[in-house]
Each structure stands twice: as C-alpha cells, then as structure tokens.
Structure 1
C-alpha cells in the first residue's frame, strides 16, 4: 500500500497508484520461485523412497506392521512428521488400516493415496506379492517426479522471460518519470489515465493466463478426506 501511495505521489496518476499496489501484492507470487511445487516434488521423492524402504523390509520377511514401524524411524525428512504420527498411532494400538488412512489424509497427495490403498488392502485382506507391487508403485512415483521436474523447468524459463519483461518495463517507466517527465505528460489527462488502466488490465490478464496454464490438475483422490467418509470406510473395512 505504501509503495502505491509513493507511486501515485511521484506520478500524480491515481491509476498508477492502483496498478503499483496490485503489482506489489501479486507479482512476487506469480514471478517468484514456485516453492509449493518444489515442496510437493520433494514430498513425492520422499514417498517413493519410503515405498522402496517398505518393499525392502518386507522382502526380509517382516510383517507389514513391523515394516511400517521400522521404516518410520528412518523416514525421509519431507515425510518425517507424518511418519511419526503413523508410527505413534500404530504403537498406540490403532488398527493399521485406520492409521494408514489417517496418514494419507495428513500427506494429502493423490500418489500417497495409491500407495496407502495397496497397503490397506494388504493389511485387511493379507494380499500376497506386496513387495513387488510396492516396487512398481515406487517406480511410478519416481516417473511422476521426473515428469514434474521437466514441467517445472519449462515453467521456470517462462517465469524468467516474464520477469525480464516486467523489470525492463518498470525500469523504462521509472527512467522516464525521473529523467524525462514531459514525455509522459499525455498520461496526465483523463484519456491518458484510461489508456494506462487498459494497459494495466492487459498485463493483469496476461499474468492470470500464465498462472492458469501453468497450473497442474491433480488426479482424483482415492481415499476420502471427509472424516465421515473415513469413518464409514473404517466400519465397512473398505477404502473410501
């Protein structure tokens, strides 16, 4: 807000004050590093690593519950909090399927739902060949991670191009305001302010479009995040 007031005072353009305020509030999130995507990729890699640890532990003839407890103590850092809760619930006497569903809700990721669904089915129905299945799931998760990393790399190049465009545009505008103010006199009129508003709106539309096309649609969750749905699933012994 302060930056917008300063911009309005320097230019004496009310539209410039509004556009500057909007830019300060929105551009850092649109053009800065995509930290949310980086965190999700890290959690997906951790999920793949944990799945492989479960596979290897089960291959050593350990039961599923014992494998979960053993791997919880050496869980990857990105899933450490969720794994600690899963181990605590299991050691407290909660049924393993219910603890696994709560773990899936904590992780809140469609890929985690796939892994947990396989584990729940194995815990409830004593499914065989779980270790090879976990190996295939881990490989699938790693393929998803690789795909997302390629997408993120492409999005980063687009963000860099847009960032350069914005910096150059703002730099030229600031330079004209400071060094050649008479050149911008046409914007002092109401018509000039209307034109400036249209230009600002076009920039806003383009940034919104870039954000929309860069958004990845997540798969449908296999395990319900609704508490009532989880309770019903626990009573029927199925996966909601």
Structure 2
C-alpha cells in the first residue's frame, strides 16, 4: 500500500509540474487541466481523466477540482488542489511558480515518508526477531527442560509471569503506536467536495 501511495504522490508531483509548464505557455488553468489530464502519469490516470471529464461536462472548475481531491484522498493532494481552486476562483497570479514549489514539496514529503518507513521497518524486524527468540526459548524449555519452569507454578511465579506478560503487552502496544505515521488534517474534506461537486454554472442540480 505504501508503494502504491508513493507512486500516486510522485505522479501528482509530475502532473503539477506539467500544469506549471502548460500555464507558462500562456494557457488558461482550465485548458491546462484538460491538456495535462490526457497525458497524466499512469498512477494518476483514473483521477485525472475523471477530472477532465467533469470539466468537459461543464462542471465548474473549482467543483471538479474538489471532487478530484476527494478521489485522491490524500493531504498532499489537498494542498495542490487548494492552490488550483484559489487560482480558479480568485484569478491568483504567479500560479506557475507556486505549482513548481508545490511539486517540489510533494516530492520532499514522499522522500521523508520513505525514510521514516525504512527506519521503522528495522524496528519492526527487531521486534519480530525478539518475539520469535522468546517464544522459541519458552517452547524449548517446555519440551526439553520442563522442571526449570516448576517455580512458575507457584502463586509467586504466576504473579511474576503476569508482570512479564503485561510488560510485553505494553511494549508491543508502544511499538505499534510509534510505528504509525500521523496524517495532517485534510484541507479539503469529503463533505465539502460532495457539496460543491453538484454545482453547475446555472445553479445547483
């Protein structure tokens, strides 16, 4: 899943650069979206073609872009779409340089996520090795030297086992928690995209 997401975000950065280059050639934003959607990177092709179809169907560009953000479902995509929506609604100037900076930012975020995941992968590997070795040792004692475990049959031994088990559970819960990557809050939520997706130039459908 991480690999697929990485491909989509790299494709988003490439598409953003394509928009920048097309805008630099004096094309309008709507025309740039239509032109680049047809040649978008493969990982972004379904969402880009859906965006182009919405624009060709005379949906307002801001609404089509918000629907595109919902399809992408990623905070990084929301940042790019927010800039495009602002430009389409307010005729923002200097959009092309901004898109170049956003594309670079997306790539930096993707690279950072990859570095973080690589570091945490080594931690997860260490945890798996520890668990396997511990369980292997316990099973070995049960099979080959059961008398070694006799002290744990006493109430005191059971209490010690309970404490050790609790420590293992807390440790695994902590490692699971630090293994998660907290996502930033999305700028364009699904509710907003759905509310605006049905708007047409003449009003609400």
Structure 2: 5+ residue stretches without partners = 201-205
Give the TM-score taking structure 1 as reference length: 0.72
Aligned-partner Cα distance in 2 for 1:227–1:113: 12
- Output one character per residue of 1:180-202: Cα deviation in whole Å (capped at 9) or x when no partner: 23323344456544433332222
Higher relative contact order, structure no. (Cα contacts within 8 Å, ≥ 6 residues apart): 2
Aligned-partner Cα distance in 2 for 1:180–1:75: 64
Q: Is the 8 A contact 1:72 1:84 kept in 2?
A: yes
Q: Tell me the equivalent position of 2:137.
A: 172
Q: CA deviation at 1:215?
A: 2.6
Q: Tell me the equivalent position of 1:69.
A: 34
| Structure 2 residue corresponding to 1:182, chosen from 147, 166, 171 | 147
- Output one character per residue of 1:54-112: Cα deviation in whole Å (capped at 9) or x when no partner: 11222233322222222223323333332232122222221111010011112122211
Local SS of the residue matching 1:226:
helix
- Output one character per residue of 1:169-224: Cα deviation in whole Å (capped at 9) or x when no partner: 12212222232233233444565444333322221211111122233332222223
Give the TM-score taking structure 2 as reference length: 0.83
Q: Is the 8 A contact 1:224 1:230 kept in 2?
A: no
Q: Is the 8 A contact 2:10 2:106 kept in 1?
A: yes
CA RMSD of superposed structures (Å): 2.6
Structure 1: 5+ residue stretches without partners = 1-34, 236-240
Residue correspondence of structure 1 range 74-153 to structure 2 within 5 A = 74-153=39-118
Q: How many residues align?
A: 199
Aligned-partner Cα distance in 2 for 1:97–1:89: 11
